[in-house]
Structure 1
Amino acid sequence: MTQAPRILSIAGSDSSGGAGIQADIKTITLLGGYAMTAITAITAQNTRGVTDVQALSAQMVAAQIDACIGDIGVDAVKIGMLGSPEIAAVVADRLEGLGVPIVFDPVMVSTAGAVLADEATIAAFERLMDIACLTTPNFDELAVLGGDEALVARGIAYIAKGGDAPGDVVEDRLVLPGQAPVLWTAPRIDTRHTHGTGCTLSSAVATFLGQGAPLVEAIEDARDFVRAALLAAPGFGEGFGPMGHHAVR
């Protein structure tokens, strides 16, 4: 039997199941990985928005990471919502020099518009971008991080996601230091059920990397998975509903 890649998700919990740790577990499992978690924050949320957030202590987040890596081991890591600058710092401490692919989704605002990272936490993202083999900002997050010019100058490998940009065609752009950008385009899927797209993409990329896929191939397959899940959305909720991870074959 081929061993499943061990994928650690470091992210917040979404009580409604559409994003965060819950979306990561679904994605990793459906793609053949073994999902482990280090929960950074607990959120009360649904498709209409986030009503409460409680970040865990940095010590507790570190303890979860240590428990997973120290016993089961890890083949790739996905980082999502962090919750505080202290958590961001301890995650960087634990992952620096780990020697496995790390995918960083710099979560700042939820799909429904709730702020999930303050200025101090965003400032702490810099170490994590340096550690990660891929950072996955959306249209607005890329601007907050300084835009293309700033990330290119720092030698950050990133994919600029186009799902939140205007237009009928979605363009995702992979930028790697010293290389020509790689572009993917596809017609926009007309749906309000987009909750958890960023979480799903980043955890899918991490899973494929954990299986040994090259980066470009991992991104291509992750994009296909996200689009299939969007098309299979079950229609739950009155706002930005969850995708249909369970229905993707």
Structure 2
Amino acid sequence: MRYICALTIAGSDSCGGAGVQADIKTMSALGVYAASAITSITVQNTMGVQAIQAVKPEIVAGQIKAVMDDIKPLAIKIGMVNDKATIQAIADTLKIYSPNILVVDPVMVSTSGSMLMQKDALGVFCSNLLPMATLLTPNIPEAEVLSHTKISTAEDMDIAAKRILELGCKAVLIKGGHLEGGKKIDKLYTSEAEPATFVHDTIETRNTHGTGCTLSSAITSFMARGQKMTDAVAYAKEYLSKALEAGKDIHIGEGHGPVDHFFNPEKLMTL
């Protein structure tokens, strides 16, 4: 008997609402044992990111190898990777293990608007890491960068998704949270089937710090638990909506606060 385990490869958030901290909270709340490989250390709070210090690529690779060789996670999530050397190190290391489930959240801009990926890293990301992804989970601004497409409507999302799929990932979930309206529409695209659409009511709150990290970690967790991708996305969307609702009126920090990851935590699950 062993725990269901997932690995997050991401940056550290000193205020605890996003990054590897949000990943660990999410995975733990969903009954999944969380291991981590930290790619960078950020100086940040709910108001924004003040500084980023990258971890040496060989240390990032070493963390991944240590976890993969011993813990053997069933699924991997990649969050913030700041520079091209680290992206290359992650891609080279994961190629050794050929993970069955690799969810990549292309974190480029923080909730507060701070740039989190160096400009010269994007090409390496698209050519070396993105094609390995089982699922890519960009928000609207990130999908615009990856597809070179302006997205203002759900139809624009379709065009952008087609272009992103051509880069080599197996599936892409474009998160429509940046579109105006009373409903939030996310769409899951693959090359084999019609898009799956997920619609949720807009929750009025400023506590949206780390929502992208939380969603991608929740998807990773549900896939580690054996759910098919479409179901995993649906369950993860429901989890995030409830976490947003539970934490919408909480005051932590003077900027964008976190969601309530532990509104209904589950016990660690075993195989």
Question: TM-score normalized by structure 1?
Answer: 0.96
> How far apart in 2 are the matches of 1:51 and 1:4?
37
> How far apart in 1 are the matches of 2:100 and 2:142?
25
Residue identity in the other structure for 1:158: V
**What is the aligned-residue RMSD (CA, Å)?**
1.3
> CA 1:155–1:65 in 2, change beyond 3 Å: closer, same or farther?
closer
> How far apart in 1 are the matches of 2:202 and 2:214?
17
Aligned residue number for residue 268 of structure 2: none
Aligned residue number for residue 194 of structure 1: 208
Gaps of 5+ in 1: none
Give the Å deviation of 1:141.
0.2
Residue identity in the other structure for 1:227: S
- Once the two structures are superposed, what CA deviation does each residue of 1:192-214 show, in whole Å capped at 9, x if it has no partner? 10000000011111111111110
> How far apart in 2 are the matches of 1:86 and 1:227?
35
Aligned residue number for residue 150 of structure 1: 163
> How far apart in 1 are the matches of 2:238 and 2:43?
29
Aligned residue number for residue 264 of structure 2: 248
> How far apart in 2 are the matches of 1:39 and 1:154?
26
- Once the two structures are superposed, what CA deviation does each residue of 1:78-129 show, in whole Å capped at 9, x if it has no partner? 0000111111111111112523200000000100011000222222222222
**1:96-115 alignment, distance < 5 Å:** 96=95, 97-115=97-115
Equivalent pair of 2:76/2:99 in contact (CA under 8 Å)? no
Give the Å deviation of 1:235.
2.4
Residue identity in the other structure for 2:208: T
**1:227-242 alignment, distance < 5 Å:** 227-233=241-247, 234-242=250-258
> How far apart in 2 are the matches of 1:73 and 1:184?
31
| Greater RCO structure (CA 8 Å; 6+ sep) | 2
- Once the two structures are superposed, what CA deviation does each residue of 1:2-53 show, in whole Å capped at 9, x if it has no partner? 6322110000000000000000000011111111000000001111101111
> How far apart in 2 are the matches of 1:152 and 1:158?
7
> How far apart in 2 are the matches of 1:189 and 1:164?
13
Aligned residue number for residue 141 of structure 1: 142
Equivalent pair of 1:9/1:77 in contact (CA under 8 Å)? yes
Give the Å deviation of 1:247.
2.2
**1:53-64 alignment, distance < 5 Å:** 53-64=52-63
Equivalent pair of 2:19/2:210 in contact (CA under 8 Å)? yes
Aligned residue number for residue 21 of structure 1: 20
Aligned residue number for residue 181 of structure 1: 195
Give the Å deviation of 1:155.
4.7
> How far apart in 2 are the matches of 1:240 and 1:11?
20
What SS class does the counterpart of residue 42 from structure 1 fall into? strand
Deviates more, 1:117-126 or 1:139-148: 117-126
Q: How many percent of aligned residue pairs carry the same amino acid?
A: 42
> How far apart in 1 are the matches of 2:198 and 2:132?
25
Equivalent pair of 2:161/2:172 in contact (CA under 8 Å)? no
> How far apart in 2 are the matches of 1:99 and 1:16?
30
